[in-house]
Structure 1
Amino acid sequence: MKIAVMAAGAVGGYFGARLADVGHDVFFLARGKHLKAIRSRGLQVRSELGDLHLNNIGATDDPTSIGPVEIIIFAVKLWDTVSSVRACRSMLAENTAVISFQNGIESNALISKELGAKHAMTGSAYISSVISEPGVIRHFGNFAKLVFGENDNQPSNRTGAFLEACLESGIEAVIPDDIHAAVWDKFVTLTTMSGATAATRSSIGTILADPDMTRMYRAAMSEIVAVGRASGVNFPDDIIERQMGFAANLPPDMTASTLKDLESGNRLETPWLTGAVVRLGRELNIATPVNETLNSVLKPYENGG
C-alpha cells in the first residue's frame, strides 16, 4: 500500500516504520531536527517488540511532493489538527482514507468537514512511545495496537486492505463492531487519567490509595461517560466498574503523559481532553463539575512555559 504518515512523531513514526519495514510504500512527514536526522541517518525504532533502522525512506516536510496515497495515518498533536488536515488535500485520491489516531474524539468531524466525509475514518492507537532524540522513536512496553473502522461501522475494501497490511507488519490491529464506542472507551480512560494525574501531580497508585482522590477519579470518569452517552455512544452498562478495575491494575507509578508535559513545561492537549468534556457537557446540558475543576486547574499551563 502507499501510505503517508502525518506526522512521523512517537505514534505515527512507530507504526509507519513497522509498515515500511515489510515493504509498504510509506512516506513520513516531519520537520526540523527530526526530519534532518531521518534524512541523514534513517529512522530508528527501539522496542521490546524488535528494533528497526530504516535508511533511504521517503521523508519530507512537503505533502505536495508525495502525491495521492491510499491511507493517511493522521497522528499529529491535537493543536496542529486544523492546519495538518488541510495539508492532506494534495495526498487525496478518490478513495483515500484519512484515519485519525489522535487522543481526542473531535478530529474525525473536522476531517469530514475539511476533506469530505468519504475520506474520514475513525481510529485509535494504543502505544506508549516518545521521540527520544531526533530520528529515534523509543517504544515502551510490549503493547502497540491500532483500532480503526469506517464511520458507519460497515466493512470496506480499504479497511480490509489496511488491516491486512498492519497484520503482515506485525502490528496488532482490530476493526471493532462499533468504532465510535471503541474510541470513546479509550477517551474515558485517557481523559480521566490525564486530568486527575496532572491536576494532582500524582500517580494512579497514589490517587487510588486515597479515598477522596478515588471518589474524584470515579466522578470525573462518570461525567465523561454521561457526556458520551448523551452524544449517542453505546457504552456497556459496566463501563465505570471495568474502567476502575483497569486503573487499579496499572503500574502504581503510572501517570498520563499530560503530567510529564506539564512538568517539562510543554504545551498540553487538555483543551481537547478534559476541556472537550466540559465543552460538550455544556452543549448537551450535562453537568461536569469535576472535569470543570480539573480543566480550570490546568488551564494556566495549556500553552506551556
Structure 2
Amino acid sequence: MRIAVIGSGGVGGIFGAKLAHGGADVTFLARGAHLTAIREQGIQIEGGPEPIRVSPVKATDDPSLIGTVDLVLFAVKLWDTEKVLNQIRPVVAPKTTIISFQNGVLKDTYLRAHYDPGQIMGGVGYVATTIDRPGVIRQTGPMQRLIFGEFDGQRSARGEAFLSACLSGGINAEFSSDILREIWEKFVFLVGLSGTTTTMGVPIGPIRENPQTRSFLLDVMKEVVAVGRANGVALAEDYAERRLELADNVAADMTSSMHHDLQRGNALEVRWLSGGVVELGERVGVPTPLNRAIADILALRQAGSK
C-alpha cells in the first residue's frame, strides 16, 4: 500500500513510522531540520513500549516528487490545512483515499471543499507524542490508536486495506461504523483538555483537583456535547460527565498539544477547537459562553509569538 504521510510531526511521525515498519510503502512530507534528519538517519520513535527506528525512509518537502498514492494520511497542524491541501494535488489521483487525523470536527469540511467527497474517510488519532529532536518522535504515554471509517457507516475495501496495513505495523486500529460520533467523542475531551490546560497554564492534575476549575472543565465539555447533539451527532446526554471520569484516570501531568504550542511560542489551534465549538453553536442556536471565553482569552496568542 502506497501511503503519503502529510505532516510528519507527533501524529504523522509515529503512525507513519509504524506503517513503514509493518511493510507499507510510506513517503513522509516534512521540512527543515526534521526532514534532513529523517533523510540521513531515518525516523525514530522513543519513549514508547517498543522503540522503533525505520531507516532508510523516503522523505521530501516537495509533494510533486512523491507521485500518486493509494492513501494520504493527513496530519498537519490545523492552521496549515488549506495551504497544504492545495500543495498535495500531485499526490492525489481519482482513486486516492484521504484521511485526516487532525484535531477537531471542522477538518473534513476543508477536505471536501478541495477534493471529491467520495475520496474522504473520517479518522481519529489517539496518541501522546512530541518531536523530541529532528528525526525523533517521543511517545509520552502508552496509548496509540487510530479509528477510521466511511461516513455512511459501510465497510469498504479501502478501509480494510488500511486496517491491514495498520495492524501489520503494530497500530491499535479500528474500522468504525460510526466515525462521525467517534470524531465528536474525541472532540469533547480535547476541547476541555486543551482549553483548560492552555488558559490556566497547568496540566490536568491541578485542574481536576480544584472544585472550581473542575466544574469549569466539565461545563466546557457540556457545551461541546450540546452543540454536537444539536448538530445531529449521537452523543449521550451525560457524555461530558463520562469524559470527566476519563480526566480522573489519566496521568496528573497530562497536558495538551495546544499547551505545548503556547509554551513554545507556536501558533495555536484554538480557532478550530473552542472557536469551532462557538462557530458550530451559533449555527444551531446553542450558547457557548465558556468556549467563547477560552477563544477570546487566547486570541492574542493564536498566531504565535515567534
**Same fold, TM exceeding 0.5?**
yes
Shift of 1:180: 0.5
Q: Does 1:75 align with 2:75?
A: yes
197-206 vs 106-115, greater mean Cα deviation? 197-206
Equivalent in the alignment of 2:16 = 16
287-296 vs 49-58, greater mean Cα deviation? 49-58
Shift of 1:232: 1.3
Equivalent in the alignment of 2:296 = 296
TM-score by length of 1: 0.96
Instruction: Measure, in 1, the Cα distance between the counterparts of 2:43 and 2:24.
Output: 15
Structure 2: gaps (5+ residues): none
Instruction: Judge conservation of contact 1:95–1:118 (CA < 8 Å) in 2.
Output: no
Instruction: Measure, in 1, the Cα distance between the counterparts of 2:149 and 2:176.
Output: 7
SS of 2:125's equivalent in the other structure is: strand
SS of 1:296's equivalent in the other structure is: helix
Shift of 1:238: 3.1
Equivalent in the alignment of 1:146 = 146
Instruction: Judge conservation of contact 1:2–1:25 (CA < 8 Å) in 2.
Output: yes
Instruction: Measure, in 2, the Cα distance between the counterparts of 1:253 and 1:11.
Output: 20
Equivalent in the alignment of 1:159 = 159
Instruction: Judge conservation of contact 2:188–2:240 (CA < 8 Å) in 1.
Output: no
Q: Percent identity?
A: 43
182-191 vs 106-115, greater mean Cα deviation? 106-115
AA in 1 matched with 2:149: G
285-294 vs 53-62, greater mean Cα deviation? 53-62
Instruction: Judge conservation of contact 1:42–1:135 (CA < 8 Å) in 2.
Output: yes
Instruction: Measure, in 2, the Cα distance between the counterparts of 1:175 and 1:260.
Output: 30
SS of 2:298's equivalent in the other structure is: helix
TM-score by length of 2: 0.96
Instruction: Measure, in 1, the Cα distance between the counterparts of 2:190 and 2:47.
Output: 22
Equivalent in the alignment of 2:34 = 34
Within-5 A mapping of 1:1-305: 1-305=1-305
Instruction: Work out the number of aligned pairs and report it.
Output: 305
Shift of 1:290: 0.9
Instruction: Measure, in 2, the Cα distance between the counterparts of 1:173 and 1:142.
Output: 14
AA in 1 matched with 2:53: H
Shift of 1:93: 2.4
SS of 1:143's equivalent in the other structure is: strand
Shift of 1:263: 2.1
SS of 1:4's equivalent in the other structure is: strand
AA in 2 matched with 1:6: I
SS of 2:177's equivalent in the other structure is: coil
Instruction: Measure, in 2, the Cα distance between the counterparts of 1:11 and 1:206.
Output: 26
